[in-house]
Amino acid sequence: MRNPDKDELMMSERRERMLETGFRLFAEKGIESVSMQDVARACDLGIATLYRYFNTKLAFVIAIGAKKWEEYYREVEAEYARRGGDMMNASEELDFYLSSYILLYREHRDVLRFNQNFNGYVIHEAAAGEQLASYMEAIGLFTRKFHRLYEKGLQDGSIRTDEPEQTMFNATMHIMLAVCGRFAQGVVYHSGDPEDLTRELLILKRMILSQYVKQL
């Protein structure tokens, strides 16, 4: 007799293995360069099995993207709680938030490389909003975190809030993510250690803070 709980666990573990294998291959070789057959082979599964879980490559790629950003959000939130983030003022929280992108570069460059490939791939595939729903929900976790930061700034006055929230978000988080992504891919020439451009990211963080943190 089949055990439904055991079957569900097996399916969950298999799905996780597919996602992690796909992520590793896409981050290393690029999404366009890796086929679903390549992923199935690396998982030691038949291609039909992979397609039973994800009916298109696009759906598979989006599921990976959503999973990885959700995982990183949980990591950021755990560190935020460890540092007593609720007690931070808005300027301290902005510093922490910007630092989370530097941490992403230092410890999760594979996520950044995947993300750089992801953006081009979904545009090329003309992914619709409904298809991207799970990914946008994962990204929305960071957007909502920034919203809480901005609202805190309206209350404590430690950061500039004369610019619209979305403008400030675009001029901070999008810039940090874009630069971290390019550094992770190694597409920026650097005469020093090409493996670690943390110093440059710290300079960028200070520039952003000097623009938005009020000098009391």
Closest CA to 121 of 77, 59, 180, 182: 59
Model pLDDT for residues 12-39, shown as the tens digit of each residue: 999 999 999 999 999 999 999 999 999 9
Model pLDDT for residues 98-145, shown as the tens digit of each residue: 999 999 999 999 999 999 999 999 999 999 989 999 999 999 999 999
Helix (H, G, I), strand (E, B) or coil at 215: coil
* Contact present, 73 and 141 (Cβ < 8 Å): yes
With a threshold of 0.85, does the pTM exceed it?
A: yes
| Per-residue three-class SS string for 4-23 | HHHHHHHHHHHHHHHHHHHH
Closest CA to 178 of 133, 149, 208: 208
CB atoms inside a 10 Å sphere around CB 56: 12
| Residue ranges per structural domain of the chain | 1-55, 58-212
Model pLDDT for residues 50-105, shown as the tens digit of each residue: 999 999 999 999 999 999 999 999 999 999 999 999 999 999 999 999 999 999 99
Which token pair is 37?
A: 């057959």
Q: Output 21-30 pairs: Cβ under 8 A, ≥24 positions apart.
A: 22/60, 22/61, 22/64, 23/64, 23/67, 23/68, 23/110, 23/114, 24/110, 26/61, 26/64, 26/114, 26/117, 27/110, 27/111, 27/113, 27/114, 27/117, 28/110, 28/113, 30/117
Whole-number percent of the chain with pLDDT over 90: 84
Just give the CATH number of 1-55. Answer: 1.10.10.60
pLDDT at 8: 77
pLDDT at 154: 96
CATH class for the domain made up of 58-212: mainly alpha
Helix (H, G, I), strand (E, B) or coil at 33: coil
